[in-house]
Amino acid sequence: MKNVLITGGAGFIGANFVHYLHKVEPQTRLINLDALTYAGSTENLKSMADSSRHIFLKGDICDIKQVSQIMREYSIDTIIHFAAESHVDRSIIGPAPFIQTNVVGTFTLLEAAKQAWGQERSGKLFHHVSTDEVYGSLSPEEPAFQETTAYDPRSPYSASKASSDHLVRAYFHTYDLPVTITNCSNNYGPYQFPEKLIPLIILNALQGKPLPVYGDGKQIRDWLYVEDHCEAIHLVLHKGKLGETYNVGGGNQPYNIDLVNKICSLLDELKPATDKYSLLITHVTDRLGHDRRYAMDTKKIGTELGWQPKHDLDSGLKKTVEWYLANMDWAAKISKDRDFQAWIDKNYFKRGEN
């Protein structure tokens, strides 16, 4: 990898990967393309400001002219595609941006890669970052998702990501475009936009605000520390087999309510308040079509590529809470949008109101 195009590199996972790749690939030039929509911010890239190997470009992955120009101008040999609308709740309220970015944007990138690389594809790679949500929902007794599990998306978000996965595979089979895919479970860690569950709970707790938990809180997710995810992607880039998909998960499956209580206990220890933070937990109306359980079978990436997560949930959560406590200025800048709190109120506390 000499010239890597990272899409969505100012968002949560993308920015973490930019930091990670910049550290482990000292000869690689990183071209970072991000539209800087609500969840992406150059605040996530401040430490990269003095690097000559990181070039930030504001732009839209749906703009074929811009993407094609970037491919030519920077001699891109590797695309790592993070850019996506990714919040299920927002997809329920307004699905159109999810179709545009996740489906049309992925198609645009695939077309640009096909045109730019032509038949000279040795050393080229299009890596697509996807989600476990494309597989649907599991009951408590069902086995974890495997790479061969049939797709069964339940929300506009997961349906748009399933569509993008299918497009990537189609370009591999039809046009011999060199591709790999990873489907990851729920990520957490530094730089995550505050509307997502873990940072929302941390930041609301510190401000003494209610900690919203959907329904009975018995939804189950597989939580993956973002740095472990970055390491998995890096391994796939170097050792993954073309055309293959690799599931990436953290091996943790707590109930959401238990996760929230873990965060409260950590805050009680690290930033004690007058009362226990768990007293702020507030059960709210459940999300429409809310999947009950996700779980990832990661045997394939473990057996074939030797990857396994380095963080369990306790160690990853502690590092995450400590990071947010040390970066409250970042959190304030990221959530300063005047519509942010209104959206949180509408989504969690005024669900169903016009």
> What's the domain range around 24?
3-187+226-249+290-311
269 as an active site residue: the answer is no
- Determine which one of 34, 77, 85, 132 is catalytic: 132
| Percentage of residues in the chain having pLDDT higher than 70 | 97
Helix (H, G, I), strand (E, B) or coil at 230: helix
| Residue 323: both structure tokens together | 């990071």
pLDDT single digits (tens) 204-236:
999 999 999 999 999 999 999 999 999 999 999
- Determine which one of 89, 135, 157, 324 is catalytic: 157
Q: What's residue 354's pLDDT? A: 41
pTM of the model as a whole:
0.94
pLDDT single digits (tens) 236-270:
999 999 999 999 999 989 999 999 999 999 999 99
In terms of Cα–Cα distance, which of 11, 74, 21 is closest to 45?
A: 11
DSSP 8-state symbol, 218: -
pLDDT single digits (tens) 105-122:
999 999 999 999 998 899
Any domain includes 203:
no
Any domain includes 22:
yes
Any domain includes 110:
yes
Any domain includes 72:
yes
- Determine which one of 34, 77, 89, 133 is catalytic: 133
Any domain includes 221:
no
258 as an active site residue: the answer is no
pLDDT single digits (tens) 115-164:
999 988 999 999 999 999 999 999 888 999 999 999 999 999 999 999 99
- Looking at the structure of the chain, the number of domains it has is 1
Q: What's residue 254's pLDDT? A: 95
Q: Note whether 133 and 161 are within 8 A (CB).
A: yes
Look up the CATH number of the domain holding residue 83: 3.40.50.720
Any domain includes 58:
yes
| Percentage of residues in the chain having pLDDT higher than 90 | 84
Any domain includes 97:
yes
Q: What's residue 286's pLDDT? A: 84
Q: Which residue has the higher pLDDT, 179 or 336?
A: 179
Any domain includes 337:
no
Pairing of strands 54-58, 281-284: unpaired
157 as an active site residue: the answer is yes
